[in-house]
Amino acid sequence: MLRLNALDIRKGEFRLSGTADIKAGARVAVIGPSGAGKSTLLEAIAGFQPLDSGKILWRSDDLTARAPGKRPIAMLFQDGNLFPHLTVAQNAGLGINPNRKLTPDEMKTVEVAISRVGLSGMEGRKPAELSGGQQSRAALARVLVQQRDLLLLDEPFAALGPALKAEMLDLVKEIVAERNITLLMVSHDPDDARRITDEVLLIAEGKLHPPAPTADTLDNPPAALREYLGT
Ligand SMILES: Nc1ncnc2c1ncn2[C@@H]1O[C@H](COP(=O)(O)OP(=O)(O)OP(=O)(O)O)[C@@H](O)[C@H]1O
């Protein structure tokens, strides 16, 4: 269980508070109006945004004071997931160790991850030599080699066309199921949430709401969500 316990986050005038428990292995969409604090919540879970109060617990480990790199978390953002001067294999290898050459076993892990995301044969290419979809796959390979329990996605596929985005979401769904990864995904598109998540965590008006089933919530949205969905 990922326990977001009595969180209180302040950023200038902005404030977000609430409690939510996320079951291990769940796939959860983080939804809410623009500026509601979706990215801020992911940053807090990853350790980049300090809490004013509250605790973040994972399987009874208290992560609250832990540095980002020491948390069992991998994260993908909308942009900037790849270094342009490094190859696909080097970018993926950064997930294991940014500072030194990889051991043969670690190189094997990179090779398996690159194959899993469908980029075998492209290990030596730089990001500029890949399509947008292939770049997303390379970023996902880096997440895979990290072998973390939690994956946080902040709209990483927003720049892709609808078909490619659907393909990437399906790949993420398969991979998190295979590895029993707990997924939190920020999305502006309710169809993304329906496609791969079973629960939604709504953030609105400074409050974090406990996760609720995706289809029920989107079919019968609470008032705070209705305006955002345009229903
Ligand atoms: N450095 C900052 N100082 C003060 N307020 C900030 C700062 N950065 C962001 N904010 C405010 O924090 C709030 C939450 O921002 P956040 O990016 O988490 O929202 P979001 O729900 O992810 O938005 P969007 O859907 O538009 O990406 C916003 O109202 C924003 O204006």
Q: Summarize pLDDT for 66-102 with one digit per residue, the tens.
A: 999 999 999 998 877 899 999 999 999 999 987 778 9
Sign of the Cα pseudo-torsion (158, 161, 162, 167, in order) = negative
In short, whether 98's Cβ falls inside 6 Å of ligand 1 is: no
Strands 207-208 and 199-204: antiparallel
* Domain match, 133 and 167 both: no
* Domain match, 119 and 209 both: no
In short, whether 83's Cβ falls inside 6 Å of ligand 1 is: no
CB atoms within 10 A of CB 144: 23
* Domain match, 214 and 159 both: yes
Instruction: Give the H/E segment covering residue 154.
Output: strand 150-154
Nearest CA to ligand 1 atom 2: 11
* Domain match, 16 and 117 both: no
pLDDT digits over 113-165, tens only? 999 999 999 999 999 999 989 999 999 999 999 989 999 999 988 888 899 99
In short, whether 187's Cβ falls inside 6 Å of ligand 1 is: no
In short, whether 35's Cβ falls inside 6 Å of ligand 1 is: yes
Residue 96 to residue 90: CA distance in whole angstroms: 10
CA of 203 to the centre of ligand 1 (A): 12
Q: What is the ipTM of this complex?
A: 0.95
Q: Has residue 170 been placed in a domain?
A: yes
Which three-class secondary structure state does DSSP give residue 135? helix
Residues 143 and 76 sit within 8 Å (Cβ to Cβ) = yes
pLDDT digits over 160-180, tens only? 889 999 999 999 999 999 999
Residues 152 and 46 sit within 8 Å (Cβ to Cβ) = yes
Helix residue ranges, H only, 81-231 = 88-93, 104-116, 132-146, 162-179, 190-196, 214-219, 223-229
Q: Choose which residue among 10, 40, 207 to substitute to test ligand 1 binding: the one with the highest number of ligand atoms within 8 A of its C-beta.
A: 40
* Domain match, 56 and 170 both: yes
CA distances for 138 relative to 79, 103, 141, 218, 226, angstroms = 13, 20, 5, 32, 36
Q: Choose which residue among 8, 13, 16, 39 to substitute to test ligand 1 binding: the one with the highest number of ligand atoms within 8 A of its C-beta.
A: 39
CA of 77 to the centre of ligand 1 (A): 15
Q: Which domain holds residue 126?
A: 83-147
* Domain match, 204 and 156 both: yes
How many domains, in total, are found in the chain?
2
Q: Which amino acid is at 45?
A: I
Domain containing residue 185: CATH number: 3.40.50.300
Residue 26 to residue 19: CA distance in whole angstroms: 17
Q: Has residue 4 been placed in a domain?
A: yes
Residues forming a β-bridge with 16: 9
Residue 148 to residue 41: CA distance in whole angstroms: 19
Q: Has residue 77 been placed in a domain?
A: no
In short, whether 142's Cβ falls inside 6 Å of ligand 1 is: no
Residues forming a β-bridge with 22: 2
